Amino acid sequence: MTDMDIRLTVNGRLQHAKAGVMRTLLTVLREDFGLTGTKDGCSSGDCGACVVVMNGQVVNSCMVLAAQADGSQVTTVEGLASNGELHPLQRAFGGTWAFQCGFCTPGMLVSCHALLSSNDNPSREEVLTAIAGNFCRCTGYQGVVNAVQQAAAELRSANAEAVLQHD
Amino acid sequence: MIDSGAVGRWVSAPGAYDIVTGKARYCPDLDFPGMLIGKLLYSPHARACIRRLDVTAARMIPGVIAVLTHADIPGENSYLYAEPDQPLLVVDEVRFQGDAVAAVAAIDEQTADAALRAIDVEYQALDGIFDPLAAMQAGAGQVVAGKDNIMMHKTYRTGDVAAALASAHVIVENTYRTQWAEHAFLETEGGVGLVDADGGVTVYSSCQAPHRDRMQIARALGLPESRVRVITPYIGGAFGGKDEAHVQIHAALLAHAARRPVRLIRGRRESILTHVKRHPFIVHCITAATRDGRLLAVKARAIVDAGPYSNATHEVLNKFGEFIGGPYTVKNLEIEKIAVRTNNPITGAFRGFGAPQAAFVYESQMDDLARKLGMDPLEIRLLNGVDTGTRMYTGVVVREGKAMKASLRRAAEMMGWQQRGELGRQPATHLRRGWGMATILKGSGMGRGLPDHAAVLLEMHRDGSVVLQSGAADMGQGIVTVLAQLAAESLGVEMSSVHVVRADTAQAPDAGASCASRQVMVSGNAVLRAAVPIRDSLLQVAAEKTGVARDRLVLHGGRLHVDGQAHDLTVAELARRALFRGYPLQSEGRYELEYPADAPEVTYRYSQEVFQFCTQIAQVLVDCETGQVAVERLVAVHDAGKMINPGGVYGQIEGGVAQGIGYALTEELRVTEGHTLNASLENYVIPMALDIPELEMDVLEMPEPLGAPLGAKGIAESPIIPTAPAIRNAILDAIGRPLYQLPMTAERVLSALDAAPCADPA
Ligand code: FES
Ligand code: FES
C-alpha cells in the first residue's frame, strides 16, 4: 500500500502530506499541519465541528478523503484573521456570547464567514440556514445570529467608507 | 463595591481570543513528544461472563507499548466518587454495553486499533435483566452478584396524605414516563496522561471536578494524591456528563504503564455507549385539590432504571423527591423513590439532576388539574405559588421567593397570555395552535449537610497584574469569566489585568465540582474574600503616600480615586510600593455556604435552600396529520439573583431551553435488551439551528441572602427544567389531549390524537 503524496494550499500556504487510504482532510489538517482549530465532534459528517472551506465550498472535512483534497485551496479557522488582525466576525463572536465552550466555534465561524462572502446583509433565517449543519450543544444559536449580523453591519459600513475614500 | 466596573456588564470571556482563532486547546488538541494513542476495548454483549482474556498477541504487535487488563491495575480497580462500584476494567463479568475490558496504548491510531482486534476474549453471553419492574420482583436474579437489585428505596412523608386525599374535591392521577437522554457535549470525553521523571503523574482532563479526579486517579494508581496533578485544558461542554470520571483514569493508567504520554479520546459512538445518561423515570402521581384549586396533597412513586452501577443515582432521586411538589405550598406530601439495577446504560448527573423529570410530572399535573377545575393555568399557579417566607414541604423556609410569582406574571405579560387566542387556534384545517406554561424551582449548591466550599488564591504582581488560581472547572459555562470580573472589580483593575489560570490541582486549592449551579456562589464569594487583604495593602500604601484617610480612597479602573476623583497614582504604582514595604499582595480566600441553624426543622435530607425560580411559556403549532410539533415562540423568565455576567446568564438560558426543546420533542436513546440503537449524532436527534425559535428572555435579579455578599444564585440548571412541561401543556391546549411520556414525538402525538382526533378548538 503506497501512500499518495498530496499538495494543497491551506490558508494561503502550500503544504504537503501523505494521503493514506483512510486518511481524511481533517486528520491531515490536525495531525500533519498542526491546525487543531478544526475540531472533530463525530467523524461522521453529523456535527459540523470540522467545517472548512475547500475550493470555495463549505465542507465537513471529516468526510473528505485527504486524496480528494489534492491540489485544493483550503481555509480553516486559523486563516480568518489577517496579519494578526481578527476578522470582524471573530470579534463579534467574542462580544455576543456566540459560544460557551467554544468547541463548535471554529466550524461555526467558517460557515458564517462563507455566508458573509456571498451575502453582506443576511437575515436571521439566512444565518440559521448557513449554520444548519453546525451543531452547538451549549447555546441556542441566538448569539451566532447576533454576531453575524453585527459583523455584516460593520463590514458594510467599512465598505461604504472605502468607496467614499476611493471617490 | 460590586455595583460598577466589570460586574453586571456584558463582557467577553477571557478565552474569547483563543477560541475564535482556533488556538484554544482541548484534550484532543494536546500533543507531547513521544505521545501514544490510547483506546479501550468494550464487550459486544450487554451482559456476559468473560471465560478467557488473552492479550499476548496484542502485546507482540510492533508499536503497541502497553496493554492493560484488570490484573495490571496497581491500585483499586473500581471507581465513582461517591460509591466506587464500577470497575475500570472488568474482572469476570460485563454488566452493560459500556463496560471496558482492556486498555491499549500504541504509537498511532491504526496500531491501537490493531491491538484491540488482537485481544482474544471469550465471552459467554448471559441473560440480561433489562426491565426495571421485573428486576424488582423476587426471583429476578441479581444484576450484580451479592447485591440487591433495588439500589435505593426511600420514602419521605410530611403531613397527612390519606386524610387530605379523602377530603379533596378533585384528584388527578397519572403515570408518566421519561427517557434516557444523552448530554452530547460536542467534545467527547478525553484525557491525556503524562509521567514525570520521578514517577508522579499529570493528567489533562476534560472534567467538571479536577480535585476529585485527582483522588480517583491516585486510588487507581496506588499513589498518594500528592503525586498526582490534574489540569483542565479548554473543555468542550459537560452538562453533568463529565461530573463523574470517564477515561482520565485509564489515560493515567496507560501513561504510567507505558512511561510515555498517552492521549485517550472517546469516539462519538463510544461516548454515547459508555457515559451516564439522564435517568428514565416511571412516575405514578396523585395530586389533590380543593374546589377552588388549592393544592391539598401530592403523592408520588418513582421508579428509575439505574443501570448496573451507582453513579449519581442517589443524588438524582434525592433531587427528584425534593422538587416533586413544585414551587407550591403543599402541606401533605408523600414521595416513594426506588432505584433499580439493570443491565441497561448507566445513568447519572445531567443538568438539573432529577428536577427536569419532577417538573414534567408536577407541571403536567397542574394543567390537568386546572382543566378539571375549569381554571386558567396562570391563575392556579399564582394561587398555590410559594413566596418569600413560605415553608416548603421539605421544611425549608424560602428566603427569597418573590421571583416565583414575579416570573409567572412577567412571562405571561411577554407572551400576551390573556390575548393568546387572538392569533388563531386553527390556522388551517389540520393545524392547531396552543399555549402552555411551566414554572419551577431548582436549588443551587450541594444542599444542607453536605460540604459546600471553595477556595481561591489571588496574587497581584508589582506591575498591577493579577493572577487568580481557582480549582473550579470551566466547561464552557463561564466561571472563569465571572471570577475574572469579580477579581477585577474587587481590586479596582481592568478585567484584562486579571489572568485566571484554568484549574490545575498543583496550584489551585480545591473548589469542589462545577455542578449544582454552585460555583458562582462559592468560588465567587471566595474571590471577594481573597481580595480584601490585597486591597487593604494597596489602600494602606495609598493613604501613607497621599496623607488622605483610607475611607476616602477607592481603587477603580487601575487607578486610585480620592473622593471620587481620579488620582495620579495607579494600582501598579501602589502594588510596587506595597511590595517594597512588605505588605501582602497574595491571599487565599475561602468561602463555605453556611446554612443558618435550622429552625424550623428541615425534614428532607440534603435540601438545597437557594432557589432559582423561573417560568417558561411556549406557543406551539401541532400538525394533526403528521403529529409534528413546531415551537413557534418561547418566553423564558429566570431569576439569577445578582447577575455578574449578563452574556453568560442569557447564554445559559438559551442553551438550556435548546436542550429542553430536544428533551421535550426528539431526544431519546433507544435501548433494546441493553443495546443502544441510536449511538450517533445522526440518529439521536438534537435540535439544530433551524429547530429553535427566537427566544424571548428576561432576567429578574432577586439577590440571594444566603449567598451574601455576592447575592448571585447560579443559573446553569433551571433553564432546561420547565421547557418540556411548558411544551406538553401547549400541546394539550392545542389538541385537547394530554401526553404523559417524553419525548413527545410525532408518533406519540399521533397516537394521542388517534384516541380522539383533533378536537375543534375551544
Ligand atoms: S466531525 Fe465532521 S461533521 Fe462532525
Ligand atoms: S459553544 Fe459549546 S458546542 Fe457550541
Contact flag B690-A42 (C-beta cutoff 8 Å): no
The per-residue pLDDT for range B661-707, each reduced to its tens digit, is 999 999 999 999 999 999 999 999 999 999 999 999 999 999 888 87
Which chain B residues touch A47 with a CB distance below 8 Å?
186, 681
* CB of B130 closer than 8 Å to CB of B341: no
What pairs with residue B48 in β-bridges? Answer: B94, B125
Is the pLDDT at B70 greater than 50, yes or no? yes
Q: What's the mean per-residue pLDDT of chain B?
A: 96
As given in the structure block, the three cell numbers for residue B305 are: 432504571
pLDDT for B707 equals: 79
Check CB contact under 8 Å for B13 and A94.
yes
pLDDT at A129 over 80: yes
Return residues 100-119 of A near B (CB < 8 Å): 100-106, 109
DSSP state of A31: I
Nearest to B694 among A44, A86, A124 (CB): A124
What order do you get walking across the sheet with B466-470 strand by strand? B498-501, B466-470, B453-460, B586-592
Q: Which amino acid, one-letter code, is at B596? A: P
Angle of CA points B561, B563, B564, to nearest 5°: 55
Asked if B658's CB is within 8 angstroms of A101's CB, the reply is: no
Atom of ligand 2 nearest to the CA of A100: 1
Kindly determine whether residue A81 and residue B21, on different chains, have CB atoms separated by under 8 Å.
Answer: yes
Q: What is the model's pTM?
A: 0.97
Averaged confidence pLDDT in chain A: 95
Beta carbons of B345 and B179 less than 8 angstroms apart: no
Q: Position of cell 451507582?
A: B310
Distance (Å, whole) CA A30 – CA B152: 47
Provide the residue ranges of all domains of chain B, joining segments of one domain with +.
31-127+183-274, 281-447+600-755, 453-592
Query: At CB < 8 A and 24+ separation, what contacts does B732-738 make?
Result: B732/B367, B732/B371, B732/B434, B732/B436, B733/B434, B733/B435, B733/B436, B734/B425, B734/B432, B734/B433, B734/B434, B734/B620, B734/B621, B734/B622, B735/B432, B735/B434, B735/B622, B735/B624, B735/B759, B736/B762, B738/B174, B738/B364, B738/B367, B738/B368
pLDDT band at B374 (very low <50, low <70, confident <90, very high): very high
A43 CB within 8 Å of a chain B CB = yes
Q: How many CB atoms lie within 10 A of CB B424?
A: 10
**Residue B761 contacts residue B685 (beta carbons within 8 Å):** no
CA distance A1 to chain B (A): 14
| Closest listed ligand to the CA of A103 | 2
Cα of A48 vs centre of ligand 1, distance in Å, is: 5
Cβ pair A39:B186 closer than 8 A: yes
Contact A134 B23 (CB under 8 A): no
Q: How do residues B598-613 score in pLDDT, each as one tens digit? A: 778 999 999 999 999 9
**pLDDT tens per residue, range B331-348:** 999 999 999 999 999 999
* Ligand 2 centroid, distance to A98 Cα (angstroms): 9
* pLDDT at residue B264, as a whole number: 98
Question: What is the model's pLDDT at position B720?
Answer: 98
Q: B551, exposed or middle or buried, with CB in 10 Å at 0-12, 13-18, 19+?
A: exposed
CA–centroid distance, A15 to ligand 1, in Å, is 22
Q: What angle do CA B73, B74, B75 make, to 5 degrees?
A: 95
The answer for residues whose C-beta is within 8 angstroms of residue B578's C-beta and 6 or more apart is B537, B538, B540, B541, B585
Closest CA in chain A for residue B473: A101
> Rounded to an integer, what distance in angstroms lies between the CA atom of residue B169 and that of residue B366?
15
- For B203-237, letters b (16+ CB in 10 Å) and e give bbbbbbbbbbbbbbbbbbbebeeebbbbbbbbbbb
- Which pLDDT band holds residue B434 (cuts at 50, 70, 90)? very high
| pLDDT value of residue A167 | 62
d(CA A127, CA A118): 12
Percentage, residues of chain B above pLDDT 70: 99
Interface test with A, best of B186, B474, B650, B684 (most A CBs within 10 A): B186
Cα separation of B81 and B246, whole Å? 11
Query: What residues in B contact A106, CB-CB < 8 Å?
Result: 22
Q: What residues contact residue A72 under an 8 Å CB cut-off, 6+ apart?
A: A8, A9, A54, A55
Over the stretch A39-49, which tens digit does the pLDDT of each residue have? 999 999 999 99
pLDDT at B758: 57
Choose one of A24, A28, A36, A46 to mutate for the ligand 1 pocket test, by most ligand atoms within 8 angstroms of C-beta: A46
Query: Is residue A165 pLDDT above 80, yes or no?
Result: no
CA–CA–CA angle B143, B149, B150 (5° rounding): 160
Helix (H) or strand (E) holding B410: helix B402-415
Q: What is the pLDDT of residue B761?
A: 45
CA neighbor of B96 nearest in space, from B347, B348, B343, B339: B343
Q: What are B506's three cell numbers?
A: 498543583
Residue B19 is placed in which grid cell?
477560541
CATH number, span B453-592? 3.30.365.10
A window 133-162, beta carbon within 8 A of B: 133-144
* Same fold across B281-447+600-755 and B453-592: yes
Residue nearest to atom 3 of ligand 1 (CA): A45
Q: Which residues line ligand 2 (CB under 6 A)?
A: A 99-104, 136-139; B 186, 237, 476
Of A78, A79, A28, residue with least CA distance to B18: A78
Residue A49 in contact with ligand 1 by CB distance below 6 A: yes
pLDDT at A163: 81
CA-to-CA distance for B271 and B241, rounded, in angstroms? Answer: 10
Burial class (CB in 10 A: 0-12, 13-18, 19+), B109: middle
Q: Which domains does chain A have, with CATH numbers?
A: 4-79 (3.10.20.30), 88-166 (1.10.150.120)
Handedness of CA B26, B29, B34, B37 (dihedral sign): positive
Superfamily of domain B31-127+183-274: Aldehyde oxidase/xanthine dehydrogenase, a/b hammerhead (3.90.1170.50)
Q: What is the pLDDT of residue A135?
A: 98
Give yes or no for a contact between B235 and B187, defined as CB atoms under 8 angstroms apart: yes
Q: Please list, in sequence order, all residues whose beta carbon lies within 8 angstroms of the beta carbon of residue B542, skipping any fewer than 6 positions away.
A: B548, B550, B553, B555, B560, B569, B574
Q: Cβ contacts of residue B503 below 8 Å, gap of 6+? A: B210, B230, B231, B232, B470, B471, B472, B473, B474, B511
Q: Is A41 in the pocket of ligand 1 (CB under 6 A)?
A: yes
Q: Taking 60 as the threshold, does the pLDDT of residue A114 lie above it? A: yes
Residues in chain B within 8 Å Cβ distance of A133: 688
CA distance A2 to chain B (A): 16
B271: phi then psi, degrees, rounded to nearest 5:
-60, -45
Closest CB to A102: pick one of B476, B680, B686.
Answer: B476
The predicted-structure confidence for B170-224, as pLDDT tens digits, reads as follows 999 999 999 999 999 999 999 999 999 888 999 999 999 999 999 999 999 999 9
As a whole number of angstroms, the distance between CA B344 and CA B303 comes to 14
Q: What is the pLDDT of residue B762?
A: 42
Looking at the partner chain, which of B236, B268, B648 has a beta carbon nearest the beta carbon of A101?
B236
What number does the ligand 1 atom closest to the CA of A46 have?
3
Among residues B157, B156, B153, B442, which one has the least CA distance to residue B304? Answer: B153
CA B548 to chain CA mean position, Å: 49
pLDDT of residue B242: 98
Bridge partners (DSSP) of residue B438 are: B616
Do B730 and B618 meet the contact criterion of CB atoms below 8 Å apart?
Answer: yes
Distance from C-alpha of B123 to C-alpha of B356, rounded to nearest angstrom: 38
Residue from the list B21, B186, B650 with its beta carbon closest to the beta carbon of A103: B186
The CATH number of the structural domain formed by B281-447+600-755 is 3.30.365.10
Judged by CB atoms closer than 8 Å, whether chains meet at A37 and B16 is answered as no
Give the Cα separation of B468 and B464 in Å (integer). Answer: 13
| Cα(B609)–Cα(B602) distance, integer angstroms | 10
Out of A86, A102, A131, whose CB is closest to B24? A102
Measured CA to CA, the distance from residue B1 to residue B398 in angstroms comes to 27
Cβ contact (<8 Å) for A44 and B680? yes
Please write down the long-range contacts of B633-636, taking CB distance under 8 Å and 24 or more positions apart.
Answer: B633/B415, B633/B693, B633/B696, B634/B661, B634/B693, B634/B695, B634/B696, B634/B723, B634/B726, B635/B411, B635/B414, B635/B415, B635/B695, B635/B696, B635/B697, B636/B411, B636/B695, B636/B696, B636/B697, B636/B698, B636/B719, B636/B722
What is the pLDDT at residue A95? 86
Q: What is the pLDDT of residue A2?
A: 64
C-alpha A135 to ligand 1 mean position (Å): 9
Q: What is the pLDDT of residues B219-271, one digit of tens each?
A: 999 999 999 999 999 999 999 999 999 999 999 999 999 999 999 999 999 99
**How many CB atoms lie under 10 A from the CB of residue B175?**
12
